[in-house]
Amino acid sequence: MTVARRLLLLALLAVFPAQAADRDALWRIVSRQCLPQAAEGRFTPPCLAVEEGAVLLKDRNGVAQLLALPRDQVSGVEAGRNQPGLWAAAWGWRGRMQGLLGRPITRDWMALTVNSSLGRSQDQFHIHLDCLSRASHEGLAGLMGEGVVRLEGHDYHVWPMAEADLVRQDPVILASERLGLASDERTRLTVALAGALGDRLWLLAHLAEPARLDFGHAEEIQDHDCQGP
């Protein structure tokens, strides 16, 4: 997200305080719509699926953007909650995105992102599933291992991760540990997973710097128009 877009967002929040204050909308959809419908064996939009520990919604923005959420109430990255099954389910829902797009998405063009507590609009933990932006794809293409990569104007710490590890390791917890974050620092953490060749993933982490109008918005590495291959 550019500085201009961040300033616009701040201005909109000032003009529409009531709408901005409704930070529980996602949780109400999960608890009052998706979960009851799952018990009845049917779904209506935006609910798409409910699995053990995971709920899938179609986001109102983007061609194929989906949201993966826990079945119970979890605030966000600052909760320090271990949720590997949620991330594994989210990565496995790539086929749903392909169905919406009407074409395949190779794993190196897919990304999962979670915004920091400073860069989100909802207080129910949610993972954005969408296409990786072309610029971010190019930025990660030459990466061979652990390092720091500048994407969309921000420095991201990057580590390789095996896809199979998603069933036992939570990327948020893993990134917090590798950055040595104290519990009160996790509010600034934004995390992403991007596909790589073979069975690897890239785990990305960045810390928000609100004084510089950087609110920890890993969603910036995604392209909600899915213009890549």
Residue 70 has pLDDT above 60, yes or no: yes
> Over the chain, what is the mean pLDDT?
90
Beta bridge partners of 147: 158
At residue 158, the 3 state secondary structure works out as strand
For residue 100, give the nearest of 136, 62, 67, 51 by alpha carbon. 62
pLDDT at 228: 81
Q: How many helices (H) and strands (E) does the chain have?
A: 8, 10
What's the Cα-to-Cα distance from 208 to each of 106, 152, 155, 227, rounded to whole Å? 30, 14, 10, 27
Q: Strand, helix or coil at 65?
A: coil
- Rounded to whole angstroms, the Cα distance separating 34 from 171 reads 25
- Dihedral sign, Cα of residue 18, residue 214, residue 68, residue 227: positive
**N-term to C-term CA, the chain:** 22
Give pLDDT, residue 144. Answer: 83
Among the ranges given (9-13, 125-129, 152-156), the one the predictor scored with the smallest mean pLDDT = 9-13
Domains of the chain: 3-223 (3.30.428.30)
Q: Label residue 53 by pLDDT band (50, 70, 90).
A: confident
* b/e sequence 186-198, b meaning 16+ C-beta within 10 Å: bbbbbbbbbbbee
Q: What integer pLDDT is reported at residue 21 of this predicted model?
A: 62
Which segment of 17-21, 199-203, 212-216 scores lowest on mean pLDDT? Answer: 17-21
Alpha carbon separation from 8 to 3, 11, 13, 95, 155 (Å, rounded): 9, 5, 9, 34, 23
